[in-house]
Amino acid sequence: MTPAPLAPHPDRLLPADPGVRRLARELYRSVADAPILSPHGHVEAALLADDLPFPDPATLLITPDHYVLRLLHATGVGLGELGRGEGPADPRDVWRAFCAGWDVFLGTPVRYWFETSLSEVFGVTEQPSAANADELYDHIDALLRTPEFRPRALFDRFGIEVLATTDDPASDLEAHARLRDDPSFSGRVLPTFRADRYMDPSAPGWAGFLGELAETAGIDTGDRAGLLAALCARREAFRAAGGTATDTGVLDAGSQPLPAAEAERIHAAGLRGEVSVDDATAYRRDMLYRLAEMSAEDGLVMQLHPGVIRNHHVPTLERFGPDSGHDLPDVAAYTRPLTPILNDFGTDETFRLVLFTVDETSFSREIGPLAGFYPSVYAGAPWWFIDTPDAIARFRRAVTDSAGFTKTSGFIDDTRAFCSIPARHDMSRRVDAGYLATLVAEHRLDEDAAHTLARRLVDDIPRATFRL
Amino acid sequence: MTPAPLAPHPDRLLPADPGVRRLARELYRSVADAPILSPHGHVEAALLADDLPFPDPATLLITPDHYVLRLLHATGVGLGELGRGEGPADPRDVWRAFCAGWDVFLGTPVRYWFETSLSEVFGVTEQPSAANADELYDHIDALLRTPEFRPRALFDRFGIEVLATTDDPASDLEAHARLRDDPSFSGRVLPTFRADRYMDPSAPGWAGFLGELAETAGIDTGDRAGLLAALCARREAFRAAGGTATDTGVLDAGSQPLPAAEAERIHAAGLRGEVSVDDATAYRRDMLYRLAEMSAEDGLVMQLHPGVIRNHHVPTLERFGPDSGHDLPDVAAYTRPLTPILNDFGTDETFRLVLFTVDETSFSREIGPLAGFYPSVYAGAPWWFIDTPDAIARFRRAVTDSAGFTKTSGFIDDTRAFCSIPARHDMSRRVDAGYLATLVAEHRLDEDAAHTLARRLVDDIPRATFRL
Amino acid sequence: MTPAPLAPHPDRLLPADPGVRRLARELYRSVADAPILSPHGHVEAALLADDLPFPDPATLLITPDHYVLRLLHATGVGLGELGRGEGPADPRDVWRAFCAGWDVFLGTPVRYWFETSLSEVFGVTEQPSAANADELYDHIDALLRTPEFRPRALFDRFGIEVLATTDDPASDLEAHARLRDDPSFSGRVLPTFRADRYMDPSAPGWAGFLGELAETAGIDTGDRAGLLAALCARREAFRAAGGTATDTGVLDAGSQPLPAAEAERIHAAGLRGEVSVDDATAYRRDMLYRLAEMSAEDGLVMQLHPGVIRNHHVPTLERFGPDSGHDLPDVAAYTRPLTPILNDFGTDETFRLVLFTVDETSFSREIGPLAGFYPSVYAGAPWWFIDTPDAIARFRRAVTDSAGFTKTSGFIDDTRAFCSIPARHDMSRRVDAGYLATLVAEHRLDEDAAHTLARRLVDDIPRATFRL
């Protein structure tokens, strides 16, 4: 059987109506090659600092990508077969399992990204299948051994101008320093301050985390004042290393400050391993407030994405660890829980808060209206489960009414999968081009303005939002 | 006045764009005549076993259809006038009330189904109106007296291959047995196990229900262990009668198991008529867990549709009984309340759970992501208030991102209105054809794959999901 | 630099597909000049009774319009600069700030209304900008000094047939009386009874409000029975003055009646300034029930819009007062909280309840289904944050399935901005024309019916809903 060809269409994702498509194509082309600003993601700085060859196709493309793992798992492929088991899986077997399951991705955004990456990064011309799995593996594997497929070479080829990583405050940012000091590397790789693991004093290992932070910061974290001081010190170090933003993922956006004595009491109880559920929640909400307070002080852009239930399936967590595909969206709320932060810092010129969601209902009801009043608040682009062509289009149609374009964040790829970065940004540029072209076709925007906005959405809007 | 013609267009519901429509039409036509698999509905097996003529147009088409009743009622027609009162209404009067109110259905899916049924099943060529009500009544009434309009003849004419009924565990499934033993009937009519009325020990009549069940099962249901044993026995009987699925409608999806002693305590209190609201809820949530446990054991596909507030208007309930149009949707949740079931059975190969909703917000936030990780979970097609052309399109756009096509259930008609079955399945095929054609037009799917998927959506996807 | 031209396209907001647009245009044109029925808004009767010239462009178009204020504020313009500060701002400076910020409105509905108003009301032919701000100001300011731009002249020019104002029960409706008695004014300007400030006995100033009401009504409001009697008396006066409706904005739709003694107890506590939060909530919910009871008695159409958090940013409230742009939407619920009202009055022929929302999720889940069963319930048009082209289209697609067209309210402009009235109604007519044309193009509605519905949506549907 002849394998199905893999040839992403140049007009993919553009509106079907011929008249609208013509303009959408023009808008898209005007920004298709614009530099990539990636202000939120999970690629490690060491990848670029070390610049070692990627080990193999499966370890690069399959195993770390929970989008891919999820749907294969949902159709009966075990996570162990996908390289997430205890023992090392043969990467070729992982790749074969992926190719054999390729059809379950039909019509999904994962398929879309993958097709674009396979075609444009690796020059693949056939749809993956059980029949050609080995051939494709060998083809990609051979490329990965060439200098052109080292991380830095791809970074340049992808046209990445800015790449933000996500880093623990206890990190010494050594890889970032190496990159900055390396005259042969000209990209900007910025650390992002993510203090999530210090926020829950009831979490296993919390005292140990505090110890690591204390060591890096050189500040005793044995009391809560010390923890805050250490976080401030590390924020300063992140800023010095080029960081412009923080990131916080919490179960909810509650942000009620506590009296210092009360926070100290819970902190001490946490170190003794004796924190009640209610106290842990109160401590976490106070910490969210404190992080906002610090952002209002030092100007690091605060990114917030509440509403994800982590590790829903305990047996999978126990066997395969976190980030194995069973984090799941929850109902999200912003307007009420963020009241303390917004009352105190909402109109502060230094403070900036980018709100992300995995609950689409909040776009027109909460995030758009908040970004449409508070100077500090920006509507974050669709993220995680909803960074898809359809959801991005819904986002624009829901948020523009209240917040226009300038109060949105610009696209974020949020990815661990380095090779998907250009495909994802490309997707966003296509969808936005389609949206703008539709507004023009409905005479809600003139063509010049559409061209200006298409450019701004990939350029000065993300630069301004993230203070790049 | 010339009556308005009734002539459903061959391209109805297909996308308006001429290019997209051309492909949509081709996709639709390739499945338009595929056999109907109806794995979830409310037609009675006795209807086909007895094969008696339908009594009259109103009793067939109006009185049992709460979709029709609702909107007529909302515009001022009393339920009594529609045949739901104490005394028998003249069916001709009911039909006249319906025809006189026909215009209130303009633009609604009820009108759509009705037009298709009237035209394709009964050969009606005029829009109903007060003026032609009697003429239409006589026309349909005459047809209903012919052999071609007996239930079995229509079953064949509609091309139904599988029809699932909904049955109480206390049912002896006598009609199913008659059908199975009748060599002149070749269709598959499968019972579906619906144990709702045993789940609430505070409900009036609960002890009596237990008694009926005990009698059919031959197992004492005086304690909770007995009830579970009786349910298991009846599940086995349903399986033996061809059943492949259960169905459960509950107020919420809470599924917390209780210690056996605690469940027994509430069971005993229920028999004494002394159950508190909290205990009733706990008992019901434990029962939901037990039903899942049984499904993991016997492989009956578990269908779950929480989130409907039953009998909202007490005076209507008292006067016209249940299913009289005032069941109303509520906010629905899945991810959190199903945690106990999914942690224990979510990756079990025997267990299967199809999640339905009347709250569209849960498609992209909960149902899609759950079906996109758990091998056991399937996204149920839009149901009840949302089994409409627009909502089905929104469902695909919301769920495909996370769950693709293979983790969706295929269309269910969920109907009491026998003659609407082909029109409803036809609607779904048209809408899916339009969705697939749009994906092709936007170069997100290739044409061959679209053809394959169109076929799979009406064939092996429902067969696999419901283990037909 | 040549200024960008301002020339709203005759086909704006109509669907892009050429075939669909042709019919949409025809439908739109058939109702474009129909008289405006504005059954819900915030223009003051005194404006028309006095018929004084508008003071200046900023005071007419910018300062009172919280839609405009919001987004300018969100992009860094202080509310003081927009005329909302303590001291009087120079209106020319306010206008300049608006023109300088014009680009932030690109793609938004505010821009859409503004463009239409500037072009069609004031003959402006250039997009506002910092460069032409003074010129535009002078142009509009000069027009405002002419007799053709007095309120009554504009009222006639806009083709307003009915305009409902919003009035406190303590109002003596003097301006309405003047208009009614003035033979030179032929429009209908109807008061709407809005009793919000009497519903919360814990609110600052409540006792004073009761005093004002007592004075107008001539009834002692010192106890709760007196308050109810005074409200009834004022409702009668509103009806006598032509009023057909009431309006109620509450945090939630809870409607549980209290025993009279309990309500009296809280009333007395309110007068002493000693009401607990729970008691205040109970009192408010009882009051909502009483207002429904009164509507079932006197036939005033009850409008209800719960779910807005008022004055989210306390520092802005303190400095700039209410209605300064930081009222924000909340999750809204109807089916459960309205149970008491709907059980008692839901099928009453005199009672009528129009439900509005700023939470779009409630359209298909609650408002459509409620309007699709209860004869008394109507689905209110999208309102406030969602009275936008996209949201109106989503509303039709969500609500028509359950409630058709006749159980929707017709468009409401809800505006304080007098000159935006025609642009807003025009927007709605265009969007509805596009929706109807799409239904025809998809063969879900025939063309004759689409014409009939287009007309009914701007004519007998709002007349019937609001008993005009």
* Domain count of the fold of chain B: 2
Q: How many helices (DSSP H) and strands (DSSP E) are in chain C?
A: 21, 10
Query: Contact, B221 vs B210, CB < 8 A?
Result: yes
Looking at the domain assignment, is residue B426 inside a domain? no
How close is the nearest chain B Cα to the Cα of A199, in Å?
Answer: 22
The chain B residue lying nearest C437, using CA atoms, is: B16
Q: Which residues of A touch B364 (CB under 8 A)?
A: 360, 385-386, 391
Query: Contact, C308 vs C358, CB < 8 A?
Result: yes
Residue A366 contacts C, CB cutoff 8 Å: yes
What is the residue-averaged pLDDT of chain C?
96
Residues contacting residue B324 through CB under 8 Å, at least 6 positions apart: B66, B69, B79, B84, B316, B317
Residue A347 contacts C, CB cutoff 8 Å: yes
If phi over 0 gives left and psi between -120 and 50 gives alpha, with beta otherwise, what is residue B321?
left
CB–CB of B309 and C372 under 8 A?
A: no
CB–CB of A373 and C74 under 8 A?
A: yes
Start-to-end Cα distance in chain B: 51
Shared-domain flag, residues B116 and B256? no
How close is the nearest chain A Cα to the Cα of B426, in Å?
Answer: 22
Q: Which residues of A touch C364 (CB under 8 A)?
A: none
The answer on pLDDT for B363 being more than 90 is yes
> pLDDT by residue (tens digit) across A2-12?
788 999 999 99
Shared-domain flag, residues C190 and C296? yes
The C-alpha atoms of residue B239 and residue B65 are separated, in whole angstroms, by 29
Residue B456 contacts A, CB cutoff 8 Å: no
Q: What are phi and psi of C287, to 5 degrees?
A: -60, -40
CB–CB of A375 and C75 under 8 A?
A: yes
If phi over 0 gives left and psi between -120 and 50 gives alpha, with beta otherwise, what is residue C310?
beta
Which burial class, exposed, middle or buried, applies to B451 when counting CB atoms under 10 A from its CB (0-12, 13-18, 19+)? middle
Percent of chain C at pLDDT exceeding 90: 95
Q: Which CATH number goes with the domain that contains C218?
A: 3.20.20.140
Cβ burial C242-272 (10 Å sphere, 16+ → b, else e): bbbbbbbbbbbbbbebbeeeebebbbebbbe
pLDDT at C85: 80
Residue B44: how many other CB atoms lie within 10 Å? 17
DSSP string, C144-180: HTSGGGSHHHHHHHTTEEEEE--B-TT---HHHHHHH
CB–CB of B365 and A13 under 8 A?
A: no
Residue A370 contacts C, CB cutoff 8 Å: yes
The C-alpha atoms of residue B135 and residue B117 are separated, in whole angstroms, by 17
In the three-class reduction of DSSP (H, G, I as helix; E, B as strand; rest coil), residue C440 is classed as helix
Give the residue from B301, B336, B364 where a domain finishes: B301
Closest CA to A191 of A217, A158, A159, A168: A168
Query: Contact, C185 vs C153, CB < 8 A?
Result: no
Looking at the domain assignment, is residue C33 inside a domain? no
Reading the block at residue A5, the tokens are 């060809």
Per-residue CA distances from A92 to A67, A76, A419, B423 (Å)? 19, 19, 19, 49
Shared-domain flag, residues C68 and C45? no
Query: Contact, C133 vs C100, CB < 8 A?
Result: yes
Looking at the domain assignment, is residue A437 inside a domain? no
ipTM over 0.90: yes
Which burial class, exposed, middle or buried, applies to C70 when counting CB atoms under 10 A from its CB (0-12, 13-18, 19+)? buried
Residue C340 contacts B, CB cutoff 8 Å: no
Q: Which residues of C touch B14 (CB under 8 A)?
A: 442-443
Give the residue from A235, A270, A301 where a domain finishes: A301
Mean pLDDT of C435-464: 97
The answer on pLDDT for B176 being more than 70 is yes
Look-up of token digits 């599988």 = B162
pLDDT-derived band at B454, boundaries 50, 70, 90: very high
The C-alpha atoms of residue C187 and residue C445 are separated, in whole angstroms, by 35
Mean pLDDT of B160-178: 98
pLDDT-derived band at B67, boundaries 50, 70, 90: confident
The answer on pLDDT for B34 being more than 90 is yes
Mean pLDDT of B154-170: 98
Shared-domain flag, residues B245 and B120? no
pLDDT at B17: 94
The answer on pLDDT for A171 being more than 80 is yes
Of residues B20 and C83, more confidence is placed in B20
The C-alpha atoms of residue C241 and residue C244 are separated, in whole angstroms, by 9
The answer on pLDDT for B88 being more than 80 is no
Look-up of token digits 């169109």 = B454
> pLDDT by residue (tens digit) across C353-370?
999 999 999 999 999 999
pLDDT at A87: 72
Which uninterrupted H or E stretch holds B18? helix B18-32
Inter-axis angle of helices B277-298 and B224-240, to 10 degrees? 40
Shared-domain flag, residues C45 and C85? no
The answer on pLDDT for C13 being more than 80 is yes
CB–CB of C453 and B107 under 8 A?
A: yes
How close is the nearest chain C Cα to the Cα of A436, in Å?
Answer: 9
Shared-domain flag, residues C180 and C252? yes
Q: Can you say how many angstroms the Cα of residue B13 is from the centroid of all Cα atoms in its chain?
A: 22
pLDDT at B86: 76
Looking at the domain assignment, is residue C85 inside a domain? yes
Shared-domain flag, residues C180 and C262? yes
The chain A residue lying nearest C434, using CA atoms, is: A442
Which uninterrupted H or E stretch holds B302? strand B301-304
The answer on pLDDT for A88 being more than 80 is no
Of B20, B372, B397, the CB nearest to A74: B372
Which uninterrupted H or E stretch holds B364? none
Of A17, A314, A358, the CB nearest to B365: A358
The C-alpha atoms of residue A197 and residue A227 are separated, in whole angstroms, by 12
Residue B232 contacts C, CB cutoff 8 Å: no
Reading the block at residue B462, the tokens are 């429902």
The C-alpha atoms of residue B163 and residue B191 are separated, in whole angstroms, by 9
Percent of chain B at pLDDT exceeding 70: 100
Query: Contact, C113 vs C427, CB < 8 A?
Result: yes
A vs B: CB pairs below 8 A: 126
Of B312, B316, B385, the CB nearest to C402: B385
The C-alpha atoms of residue B127 and residue A88 are separated, in whole angstroms, by 68
Reading the block at residue A321, the tokens are 């660890």
pLDDT at A1: 58
pLDDT at C1: 58
Looking at the domain assignment, is residue A285 inside a domain? yes
The C-alpha atoms of residue A119 and residue C431 are separated, in whole angstroms, by 41
The answer on pLDDT for B338 being more than 90 is yes
In the three-class reduction of DSSP (H, G, I as helix; E, B as strand; rest coil), residue A247 is classed as strand
Percent of chain B at pLDDT exceeding 90: 95
Q: What is the 3-state secondary structure (H, E, C) of A112-125?
A: HHHHHHHHHHHCCC
Mean pLDDT of B380-384: 94
Query: Contact, C318 vs C333, CB < 8 A?
Result: no
The C-alpha atoms of residue B333 and residue B317 are separated, in whole angstroms, by 27
Give the residue from B257, B285, B301 where a domain finishes: B301
Residue A355, strand partner residues: A304, A379
Reading the block at residue B115, the tokens are 């037009």
Domain boundaries, position C98? 54-149
> pLDDT by residue (tens digit) across C45-78?
999 999 999 999 999 999 888 889 999 999 999 9
Shared-domain flag, residues A48 and A58? no
The answer on pLDDT for C287 being more than 70 is yes
Residue A162, strand partner residues: A37, A188
Calculated CA dihedral for residues C166, C170, C171, C173, nearest 10 degrees: 100
The chain C residue lying nearest B332, using CA atoms, is: C365
pLDDT at B1: 58
pLDDT at B219: 98
pLDDT-derived band at A455, boundaries 50, 70, 90: very high
> pLDDT by residue (tens digit) across C80-133?
999 888 777 899 999 999 999 999 999 999 999 999 999 999 999 999 999 999
Looking at the domain assignment, is residue A68 inside a domain? yes
Shared-domain flag, residues C93 and C188? no
pLDDT at C3: 80
Task: Determine which of C27, C396, C402 to mutate to test the interface with B (most B C-beta atoms within 10 Å).
Answer: C402
**Of the given ranges (A20-34, A83-97, A388-402), which has the lowest mean pLDDT?**
A83-97
Query: Contact, A21 vs A15, CB < 8 A?
Result: yes
Of A370, A400, A453, the CB nearest to C328: A370
pLDDT at B323: 87
The chain B residue lying nearest C332, using CA atoms, is: B331
Residue B129 contacts C, CB cutoff 8 Å: no
What one-character DSSP code corresponds to residue C305? -
The C-alpha atoms of residue A98 and residue A90 are separated, in whole angstroms, by 13
CB–CB of B444 and A326 under 8 A?
A: no
Within C319-421, strands assigned E span 328-329, 353-355, 377-379
Query: Contact, C113 vs C81, CB < 8 A?
Result: no
Closest CA to B330 of B416, B250, B409: B250
> pLDDT by residue (tens digit) across B117-135?
999 999 999 999 999 999 9
Neighbours of chain B (3+ CB pairs under 8 A): A, C
> pLDDT by residue (tens digit) across C178-193?
999 999 999 999 999 9
Q: Which residues of A touch B333 (CB under 8 A)?
A: 331
The C-alpha atoms of residue B80 and residue B72 are separated, in whole angstroms, by 12
Reading the block at residue A185, the tokens are 């590397």
The answer on pLDDT for A350 being more than 70 is yes
Shared-domain flag, residues C69 and C94? yes
The C-alpha atoms of residue A362 and residue A390 are separated, in whole angstroms, by 16
Looking at the domain assignment, is residue C211 inside a domain? yes
> pLDDT by residue (tens digit) across C302-358?
999 999 999 999 999 999 999 889 999 999 999 999 999 999 999 999 999 999 999
The chain B residue lying nearest A314, using CA atoms, is: B343
CB–CB of B19 and A15 under 8 A?
A: no
Shared-domain flag, residues C60 and C182? no
Shared-domain flag, residues C60 and C125? yes
In the three-class reduction of DSSP (H, G, I as helix; E, B as strand; rest coil), residue B332 is classed as coil
The C-alpha atoms of residue C433 and residue C14 are separated, in whole angstroms, by 8
Look-up of token digits 């989503």 = C394
Q: Which residues of B touch A325 (CB under 8 A)?
A: 373
Look-up of token digits 């794959």 = B449
Calculated CA dihedral for residues C451, C453, C454, C455, nearest 10 degrees: 90
Q: Which CATH number goes with the domain that contains A86?
A: 1.10.2020.10
**Side-chain-facing half-sphere of C23: CA atoms under 13 Å:** 23
Looking at the domain assignment, is residue A30 inside a domain? no
